[in-house]
Structure 1
Amino acid sequence: MSRYHELKHRAVTSFQRRVGNPILRRLPSQTLLETTGRKSGLPRQTPIGGRRIGGEFWFVSEHGEKSQYVRNIQADPRVRLRLNGRWHSGTAHLVPEDDAKARLKALPRMNSAAVRVVGTDLLTLRIDLTDLTG
């Protein structure tokens, strides 16, 4: 990763951790990804944007495998997803062969624009939802 991308990554993740995520987590309509901390074993909730397509939820990580939630998924792919105010269980998968830039065009416009602007290493993820009832 270039020095520029490293500095950008640090600035963005610092802002998200201290300002953005604490605010977004409180919004009832915000989609939340809950992973299990790979070191702590505690639940970790991260606001994300993406789209449900059938029994799957697709989204793009702006920092790829440097994202803490991606590292947590690599250690334990079992996740929960709060979607439209309801929690669902699922299994997350990294999809590096997917064209993340093309994927963003099919996802919600505002979130996709933000991911493109702050992203340093785009990576597509898919969650296979296991307990959908509607």
Structure 2
Amino acid sequence: MPWPVWGCLALGLNLALTLLSPRAKRALVRALQKYVINPPMRLLLHLGLMPLGLALLETRGRVTGKPRRTPVGNGRQGDDFWIVAEHGERAGYVRNIRRDPLVRLRFRVGLRFHWVEGHAEVRPDDDPWALQRTLSRWHPLRALNAVTVQVMSAEPVVVHVRLAPRHGIRKTGTGSTACRNRAPAREPQETP
């Protein structure tokens, strides 16, 4: 059969699985991402070989305290970075963020990849689909990521990361020691 027919069948099965058993869909997608998709993406992003449109999110494991890296869509807009987590509150990195909101992101700035620190916040009340439309409006790779997220998601949730201060795309070191050794989060002080 031609590729478009296979694609339509896969999308039909995906829709049926989403409607009949979100739990089974979540388990299938999670296994696919964990063992097939994410390992090579993590390696390519770490080496700086990944195309535009993707980033690497580093959180601290809520149980082990070790750095955990997850490929995510590049939702950078100035000093803000937006992520739509396909599995919502059940995603490991979302649970890690709930425990420790200090994160690092590795994404392309110009021609090079940089690690940038940030403070993450899970926003369950934000509309993930409206955010995806906004992010993908002008960028074809973000549009592809938005479609992939919509196909694979069961309970999406928005994650907002405030990046290090403007004009401060700083390198925070190499490897994962910066994630392990960072200080606890401090909220910015308001001026009276």
Same fold (TM over 0.5): yes
1:50: how far off?
Answer: 3.2
Equivalent residue number for residue 67 of structure 1: 91
Question: What CA distance in whole angstroms lies between the structure 1 residues aligned with 2:122 and 2:99?
Answer: 12
Q: Give the structure with the higher percent strand.
A: 1
Aligned pair in 2 of structure 1 residues 75, 3: CA closer, same or farther (>3 Å)?
farther
- Answer whether contact 1:50 1:60 (CA < 8 A) is retained: no
Instruction: State the partner residue of 1:124.
Output: 158
Q: Which of 117, 127, 133 pairs up with 1:99?
A: 127
Distance 1:62 1:53 in 2: 20
Report which structure shows greater RCO (CA 8 Å, sep ≥6): 1
Task: Provide the rounded CA distance (Å) in 2 between the counterparts of 1:92 and 1:44.
Answer: 15
For 1:111, the equivalent position in structure 2 comes to 145
Question: One-letter code of the match for 1:129?
Answer: L
Structure 1 unmatched runs, 5+: none
Q: Counterparts in 2 of 1:1-134, with a 5 A limit? A: 4-27=21-44, 28=48, 29=50, 30-84=54-108, 85-107=113-135, 108-132=142-166, 133=168
TM-score, L = length of structure 2: 0.66
Secondary structure at 2:21 match in 1: helix
CA deviation profile, 1:1-33 (whole Å, cap 9, x unmatched): x86100000000111111100011122234100
Q: Which has the higher helix share?
A: 2
Q: Max radius of gyration: which structure? A: 2
- Structure 1 position 131, deviation (Å): 4.9
CA distance in 1 between partners of 2:88 and 2:125 (Å):
13
TM-score, with normalisation over the residues of structure 1? 0.93
**What's the Cα RMSD here?**
1.7
How many residue pairs align between the two structures?
134
